[in-house]
Amino acid sequence: MPTEADDLFDLSNRVFIIAGGGGGLARPIIQALHRRGASLFLFDIDKTRLDAAAREVPSARTLVADITDEAGLAAVTAAATQAFGRVDGGINAAGLLPIGTASGMDLEVFRQCQEVNVTGAFMFSRAMAAAMEEGGGRIVHLASVSSYVANPEYAAYASSKGGLRQLIRVLGREWAARGITVNGIGPALTETDLTRDYLADANFRRNAISVIPMGRLGEPEDIVGATLMLLAPAGAFITGQVICVDGGRTLV
């Protein structure tokens, strides 16, 4: 017999679209949603990564698409609606992480970081809101502790995630009356394909761990619980927030 706790975190028969669905942070979220009976539509700009994610969850539908392409996003929401009948939420796990000195960074790299991490997040949010317009729904962005803390050589990334944090706050307020919640998860530095090359440098890894009070890097599985809460009935009255899952990084 279902318990009250089951009801709070029940995601069965919900339909979620996941941007950056082939990435390392998205994969454990996808698997957790699948185990809880959700229907999933994944998209990513990288077909190889997307195909690998789909092999892990064969029932998921997929499409190669770019989060910064409005026509591509429209194709994603149309395909998801056609496949499953509706859209209940979206998870944005797409992002870029350029690290380098402010004086030495190529301006195009800076601009591309803003384009994906902020403009792409805005476009994704707007596409999800349009797809969910009648019944409300949930939007969750993977943000970062870098929207709070200031690390040297993070000018592009931290400014983009700071922009994303404020975007989440504004959209959360603007769309609350429509029954759409907009929130973010702020992980500490986590070892994925996006960070692995940086973490291969022993000094970079040591310094990254030294500022996390719990004494370790994040793991992709760390963010699953908070993400599920924001998508489930348990998170119905939470909007405009970035929940940091960071081992205490933002306390330093």
Distance CA 174, CA 85 (A): 26
Task: Respond yes or no: is residue 157 known to be catalytic.
Answer: yes
- 3-state secondary structure string across the chain: CCCHHHHHCCCCCCEEEEECCCCCCHHHHHHHHHHCCCEEEEEECCHHHHHHHHHHCCCCEEEECCCCCHHHHHHHHHHHHHHHCCCCEEEECCCCCCCCCCCCCCHHHHHHHHHHHHHHHHHHHHHHHHHCCCCCEEEEEECCHHHCCCCCCCHHHHHHHHHHHHHHHHHHHHHHHHCEEEEEEEECCECCCCCHHHHCCHHHHHHHHHCCCCCCCECHHHHHHHHHHHHCHHHCCCCCCEEEECCCHHHC
Query: Looking at 148, 154, 157, 198, which residue is catalytic?
Result: 157
Residues with catalytic function: 157
